[in-house]
Amino acid sequence: MAACAPSFRNEKTGKTLAAIDSLLVHLKENDGSDLHLVAGQPPRFRAKGAIQFIEGQAALTNDSLRAMMEEVASRRTWEEYETTGDLDFAFSLDGVARFRANYFIQESGAACVFRIIPEEILSLETLNLPKSVCDLADLNEGLVLVTGPTGSGKSTTLAAIIDKINKTYSKHIVTIEDPVEFVHQNRNALFSHREVGLHTQGFGPALKSAIRQDADVILVGEMREMETISLAITAAEMGMLVFGTLHTNNAAKTIDRIIDAFPADEQNMVRLSLSESLAGIVSQLLLPRADTGGRIAANEILLKSSGLPNIIRDGNTPMLSQIIQAGKSQGMQGMDDVLFAYAKEGKISAQDAYMKATEKGRFEPLLQTADGAPPAD
């Protein structure tokens, strides 16, 4: 008897589909992270940071791509896409993986990206994250931000931290995401997974509710708006442990981004609140390995210390590098230090380290050793 093709199950509708199965299976079997489908172009996928063609696949017409996209989406979400031109949701492919989908419209017509979400939540030990990052799971209160560009592994790192809390502590954990990515099973902790647009109207209303829902830990998928940022800080001040993400590359830019989200006449009050509630910032990059293949995470880590509140209150974020240097014994580390060490050890290329570094002059000798001359910015 021939083996059955894996069935596609949309978690919101229960529909069983097949049109896109082979492409998603290809993504998983080739260790890809993202599947890119664009009208007028053949399918492509990202693996180890690089976009690649899928062999034997012809260009997709706009009509055929839209049919595939509509088949995956629920009626409600497809209507949202038709109305707004943008859509985010998550679904599972039985026996393969869970995926996050983003639909949009561009010059040639429909387009979408499917990002694979590992069904298994990787542990902090498996991810080989620094001990100071692992210890964030032991906090009782405060605001912890995990930051970095799209595709830097923020969600994976946060899932590992939340997983440690789940295995260790009897707490109520409320997650607010758009869409829900990692689904945690109740172990010692009790989870309330909430998806924006499905279980709540927005991050702000969900955060207000979480404060009244006896939450010990709150995970906010993205802190994009002033209301969300303000409520996250308030929850941390009230004694909850709040995790959030931002698309910033280091601690200084993260604090500046938070403050700049508010009107000028409110910024001093926000600095005061943030100085009292901020427990840590982990900024993350994913870089191609030069030694073993694959990718490696580089983390800048800022933790609460005696000097940090004054720097935040004074708006003197350029001084954060000194706080990080002084806090190395606590587990703090600067991004440039990590990049420099990785390049010297041969874990990443000198070129990649130089391109991601802030103080590029420090890295030029490494480049000259590698190939004779630094690249142009």
How far apart are alpha carbons 282 and 109 in whole angstroms?
38
The per-residue pLDDT for 170 is 97
Give residue limits of the domains in the chain.
8-117, 124-333
Q: pLDDT exceeding 70 applies to what percent of the chain?
A: 93
The DSSP bridge pattern shows strands 142-147 and 241-246 to be: parallel
Of the candidates 300, 303, 310, 376, the one whose C-alpha atom is nearest the C-alpha of residue 341 is 300
Residue 18 burial (CB count, 10 A): 11
Q: Taking 60 as the threshold, does the pLDDT of residue 44 lie above it?
A: yes
The per-residue pLDDT for 19 is 64
How far apart are alpha carbons 280 and 312 in whole angstroms?
13
Task: Look at residue 129 and give its three-state secondary structure.
Answer: coil
Task: Look at residue 345 and give its three-state secondary structure.
Answer: coil
Q: Binning pLDDT at 50, 70 and 90, where does residue 18 land?
A: low
The per-residue pLDDT for 119 is 75
120-155 pLDDT, tens digit per residue, is 899 999 999 999 999 999 999 999 999 999 889 999
The per-residue pLDDT for 179 is 86
150-197 pLDDT, tens digit per residue, is 889 999 999 999 999 999 999 999 999 988 889 899 999 999 999 988
The per-residue pLDDT for 192 is 96
Mean pLDDT taken over the chain: 90
* Element of type H or E holding 370: helix 364-371
| The dihedral sign for the CA sequence 283, 287, 289, 293 | positive
324-351 pLDDT, tens digit per residue, is 999 999 999 999 999 999 999 999 999 9
Q: Taking 60 as the threshold, does the pLDDT of residue 14 lie above it?
A: no
Asked if omega into 288 is within 30° of 0 (cis), the reply is no
pTM: 0.83
Task: Look at residue 61 and give its three-state secondary structure.
Answer: coil
201-256 pLDDT, tens digit per residue, is 889 999 999 989 999 999 998 898 999 999 999 999 999 999 999 999 999 999 99
User: Quick one: CATH architecture of 8-117?
Assistant: 2-Layer Sandwich (3.30)
Domain boundaries 124-333, corresponding CATH code: 3.40.50.300
Q: Binning pLDDT at 50, 70 and 90, where does residue 286 land?
A: very high
